[in-house]
Amino acid sequence: MEWYFLHWKKDMLVYGLQQHRKILPREKWFEKMVQIAKAQIMAQNPDNIIDQLDIAYCDSIEEAIAR
């Protein structure tokens, strides 16, 4: 997960991809675990570029396309 937040997102931005939609499993515990891990990674890496990206969690492909 660390690679995803610290490297992949930077590469994504280099290629001009700022909008990112995520469809997570419906289990609320999964979303909570993602939030906890993300918060920890961001706290340990304050120079991250996450504020430059438009990231949203969606419940379906249709919702992701509409956003």
Distance CA 63, CA 67 (A): 6
Q: In 10 A of CB 18, how many CB atoms?
A: 11
Q: 């690679």: which residue's tokens? A: 3
Check pLDDT > 90 for residue 38. Answer: no
pTM, two decimal places: 0.70
Confidence of residue 5 (pLDDT cuts 50, 70, 90): confident
Average pLDDT over residues 55-61: 91
